[in-house]
Amino acid sequence: MATKITIHSPATVANMVCGFDVLGFAVHQPYDIMQLEFIDEPGIVIVNTDAYNLPTDPTQNVAGAALLALMEAYEQPVGFKMTIQKQIKPGSGVGSSAASSAGAVFAANVLLDHPFSKEDLVRFAMNGEKLASGVKHADNIAPCIYGGVTLIRSVFPLDIVKLTVPDLFVSIVHPQIEVRTADARSILKQQIQLKDAIKQWGNIAGLVAGLQQGDYDLIGRSLEDVLIEPTRSILIPAFEQVKQVSKQLGALGGGISGSGPSIFMLSTNEYTAKAVELAMGQIYAAIGLSYHTYVTTINTDGIQTIDLS
């Protein structure tokens, strides 16, 4: 029986423009590096090897909260030391809390010889998301664990559908500001007009159908959000310019990644994706705002085991 595991837990893009809280996908870059090993005493010891100074109290750390939920369900005393090297900046909008939460329960499940299903792991990891944002949402957690693009048909009860994914390239820009998920949720409208809801439902259905059929034109037409983006985009400098220029360069479309401030764009080829990345950087450089960019692809596997010993 293995006693130590090292994993890569990937960044994720939630909402996928029109699919607020119900759609998300995993990417290959960036990712967190996490190591979990058994210790003799029951409980959790957390060691951070990055510069983010996140809590080491398991009840105040998203990975700890998720792991505590798993340990309670396991019903046998067990102890873990968890070492976390975050490469996904907290507050970046690409699933930093989800990577930690999902990575912790995935690793524990492997060491415990897989007593829990993927659905169970999502349920445990949602405790970390609740700690981070106040809400048990799964649109980052599910693709992190299942890989690819996932549809959260229901949270209570949990019902996750992994979708077929055509070849797509992803350009991401992270302007170096922080948008807290809880804050981004607090500004959303609590009531919407029926005509807007109907338009949004059509876009979600069109996006799912486009992904399943590999219909790039349908995907592009469906990457429209009439409910969330108009409100949240005011928190992100140069958002409309990034989106407009990216589409002019040939991107299918895109929008806010999760609650922001990161912005993602989907393209059908690497050449376009890199041109979009370059333009994103130029826009933020012109306004004097620091940024990070990535060109990556959709990660159909999710969390990866790197070493098991």
Q: Which residues are marked as active site?
A: 129, 181
**Nearest partner of 19 among 152, 148, 126, judged by Cα:** 152
Q: How far apart are CA 15 and CA 264, in angstroms?
A: 11
Kindly report the number of other CB atoms within 10 A of residue 231's CB atom.
13
Q: What b/e sequence results for 39-58 when a residue is b if at least 16 CB atoms lie within 10 Å of its CB, and e otherwise? A: eeeeebebebeeeeebeeeb
Q: How far apart are CA 138 and CA 150, in angstroms?
A: 10
Please say whether the beta carbons of 238 and 263 come within 8 A: no
Q: How far apart are CA 143 and CA 220, in angstroms?
A: 21
Type of residue at 37 = E
Which DSSP helix (H) or strand (E) runs through 263? Answer: strand 263-267
In the block, which residue shows the tokens 């040939």?
Answer: 250
Please say whether the beta carbons of 246 and 280 come within 8 A: yes
With a CB cutoff of 8 Å and minimum separation 6, the contacts of 149 are 16, 23, 24, 25, 143, 162, 163, 165, 211, 298
In the block, which residue shows the tokens 């960036």?
Answer: 30
